[in-house]
């Protein structure tokens, strides 16, 4: 019987209760059961990890967790010392709240990692207990290593990437979430100043305090922008695909290539060109003025309403070709029998589109629509490169009329150094995106069909 099969017959608790002295002592001295059963290398690794953990726990982890709780007590500054009757100013190295938060979180992750190793030690003791109960051969370290390279090779491959994810993804993510519960802003910048835990006050400030006057208008515009940007690209992309795939149209490849050129050009270049083109003193206003259509420059990007419409139209220029390509692939693979049968029955082209073509396109593209909507909520490039969030609005804090939540978040960090507020905005963006994605996707036909299988 395999180790996995044996281990599945008894729990760790039962093994520690009914097992021999060496099995029970493994709960205190890691690897003791392995030493008792001549698994010296494995036992050494478990014991070494325990020794390293307790040394680190006493010397580093306890102070780090204490720093995580207090976030520092000594501010950086100057103090006066008297030496040989002479008073001199001496710099005092203060605590760094930011480093204390990072090291404290890293210590907690290190503790969780040790807890997993400790659990592996208990599972190893349980396996030894079961092997002895069955009278089976106890594997050597070489045999265990071979099993890691064969039957459990996937676990071996995932170990290093998992550590990387913990250090470079999970730790920064938790750190940024924690900032939402501190007063880490431009008035509390380490190492000169300390910041402290403030609970949910930042959320209250954004949702009902002095920041609410900026948050809700920006949030409303973010949703309006996301809806219009998604819907316009979707419908006009489908219409363009239908027009290009119309029977009898010549040079279809040329027309597709013509519209795909906007995809070939990097987006930031297209946006910067459009920004210069739509400038109050730009080529478009100069051309319209020269041919006598306007007397004064049109405020494409300097007026709040004009700027919002301009952004949506520019986004259509960039986004419609993507939808056109996807819709073209779907249209070319639709069953022609249904369309031909409907046409024989006297259905008009609009009826065919409404009842056959569009429903099938929608079923296939619904997940893509959800992705586009979430992407537009976080569409930093179009807003920042085209208007920079402007025109400015004196009623808003660090935000312009066309700023989305994500561009406002950027300004709160880079311009204002209000990292606590930016963290709150980031959490709210994630919450809205996650809730919408789950609710929308679980109501799609593709999800229901998959769940029914």
- Residue 218: the pLDDT is 98
Tell me the pLDDT tens digit for each residue of 268-307: 999 999 999 999 999 999 999 999 999 899 999 999 999 9
Neighbours of 30 (CB within 10 A): 26
- Residue 152: the pLDDT is 66
- With beta carbons less than 8 A apart as the criterion, state whether 311 and 383 touch: yes
d(CA 242, CA 354): 13
Q: Counting Cβ atoms within 10 Å, is residue 212 exposed (0-12), middle (13-18) or buried (19+)?
A: middle
- pLDDT greater than 60 at residue 188: yes
- Identify which has the larger pLDDT, 198 or 257: 198
Tell me the pLDDT tens digit for each residue of 366-397: 989 999 999 999 999 999 999 999 999 999 99
Tell me the pLDDT tens digit for each residue of 111-162: 999 999 999 999 999 999 998 888 888 888 778 777 766 666 677 778 788 8
Under DSSP, the state recorded for 203 is H
d(CA 384, CA 355): 40
Which of 52-66, 175-189, 324-338, 438-452 is least confident?
Answer: 438-452
Report how far apart, in Å, the C-alpha atoms of 132 and of each of 23, 41, 446, 452 are. Answer: 11, 19, 52, 46
- Domain layout of the chain by residue ranges: 3-199, 206-452
Neighbours of 120 (CB within 10 A): 15
Place of tokens 């939808």: 323
What are the phi and psi torsion angles at 199 (to 5°)? Answer: 70, -135
Nearest to 253 by CA among 245, 242, 262, 264: 245
Q: What is the mean pLDDT of the chain?
A: 90
- pLDDT greater than 60 at residue 2: no
Tell me the pLDDT tens digit for each residue of 61-90: 999 999 999 999 988 876 677 776 677 776
Say what the pTM is. Answer: 0.87
Question: Which whole number is the average pLDDT over 407-428?
Answer: 97
- Residue 261: the pLDDT is 85
Structure tokens at 308: 């919002």
Question: Which whole number is the average pLDDT over 258-271?
Answer: 88
- Residue 390: the pLDDT is 92
- Residue 352: the pLDDT is 87
- Residue 81: the pLDDT is 74
Report how far apart, in Å, the C-alpha atoms of 234 and of each of 173, 244, 444 are. Answer: 33, 16, 17
Tell me the pLDDT tens digit for each residue of 203-239: 999 999 999 999 999 999 999 999 999 999 999 999 9
d(CA 446, CA 423): 34
In CATH, what is the architecture of 206-452? Answer: Orthogonal Bundle (1.10)
Q: Determine the 3-state secondary structure of 150 from DSSP.
A: coil
- With beta carbons less than 8 A apart as the criterion, state whether 204 and 183 touch: no
- Residue 4: the pLDDT is 47
Nearest to 405 by CA among 417, 394, 421, 391: 421
- Residue 252: the pLDDT is 83
Write down the number of H helices and E strands in the chain. 23, 2
d(CA 292, CA 199): 61
- Identify which has the larger pLDDT, 18 or 6: 18
Q: Which helix (H) or strand (E) holds 81?
A: strand 77-83
- Residue 187: the pLDDT is 94
Alpha helices by DSSP H, listed for 57-183, are 62-70, 97-134, 141-149, 153-165, 171-179
- Residue 149: the pLDDT is 65
- pLDDT greater than 90 at residue 429: yes
3-state secondary structure 277-294: HCCCCCHHHHHHHHCCCC
Question: Which whole number is the average pLDDT over 183-202?
Answer: 94
- pLDDT greater than 90 at residue 339: no
What are the phi and psi torsion angles at 304 (to 5°)? Answer: -55, -50
């Amino acid at each position: 019987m395999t180790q996995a099969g044996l281990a599945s017959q008894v729990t760790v608790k039962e093994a520690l209760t009914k097992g021999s002295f060496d099995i029970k002592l493994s709960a205190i001295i890691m690897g003791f059961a392995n030493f008792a059963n001549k698994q010296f290398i494995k036992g050494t690794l478990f014991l070494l990890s325990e020794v390293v953990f307790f040394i680190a726990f006493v010397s580093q982890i306890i102070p780090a967790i204490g720093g995580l709780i207090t976030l520092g007590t000594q501010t950086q500054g100057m103090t006066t010392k008297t030496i040989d009757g002479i008073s001199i100013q001496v710099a005092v190295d203060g605590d760094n709240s930011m480093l204390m938060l990072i090291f404290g979180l890293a210590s907690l992750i290190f503790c969780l990692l040790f807890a997993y190793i400790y659990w592996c030690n208990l599972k190893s003791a349980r396996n030894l207990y079961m092997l002895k109960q069955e009278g089976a051969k106890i594997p050597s370290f070489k045999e265990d290593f071979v099993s890691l390279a064969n039957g459990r090779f996937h676990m071996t491959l995932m170990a290093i990437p998992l550590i990387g994810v913990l250090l470079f993804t999970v730790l920064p993510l938790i750190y940024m979430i924690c900032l939402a519960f501190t007063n880490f802003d431009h008035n509390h910048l380490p190492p000169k100043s300390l910041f402290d835990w403030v609970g949910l006050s930042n959320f209250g400030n954004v949702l009902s305090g002095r920041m609410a006057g900026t948050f809700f208008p920006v949030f409303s515009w973010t949703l309006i922008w996301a809806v219009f940007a998604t819907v316009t690209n979707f419908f006009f992309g489908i219409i363009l695909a239908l027009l290009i795939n119309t029977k009898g149209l010549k040079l279809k490849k040329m027309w597709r290539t013509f519209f795909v050129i906007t995809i070939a050009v990097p987006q930031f270049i297209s946006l910067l060109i459009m920004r210069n083109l739509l400038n109050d003193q730009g080529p478009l206003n100069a051309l319209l003025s020269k041919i006598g259509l306007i007397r004064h420059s049109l405020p494409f990007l300097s007026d709040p309403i004009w700027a919002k419409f301009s952004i949506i139209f520019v986004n259509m220029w960039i986004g419609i070709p993507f939808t056109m390509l996807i819709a073209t692939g779907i249209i070319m693979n639709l069953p022609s029998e249904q369309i031909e049968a409907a046409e024989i029955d006297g259905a008009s082209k609009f009826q065919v589109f409404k009842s056959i073509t569009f429903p099938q396109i929608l079923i296939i593209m619904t997940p893509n629509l959800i992705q586009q909507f979430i992407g537009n909520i976080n569409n930093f490039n179009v807003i920042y490169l085209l208007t920079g969030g402007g025109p400015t609005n004196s009623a808003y804090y660090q935000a312009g009329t066309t700023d989305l939540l994500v561009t406002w978040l950027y300004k709160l960090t880079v311009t204002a150094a209000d990292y606590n507020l930016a963290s709150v905005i980031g959490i709210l963006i994630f919450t809205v995106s996650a809730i919408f994605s789950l609710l929308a996707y679980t109501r799609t036909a593709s999800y229901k069909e998959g769940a029914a299988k």
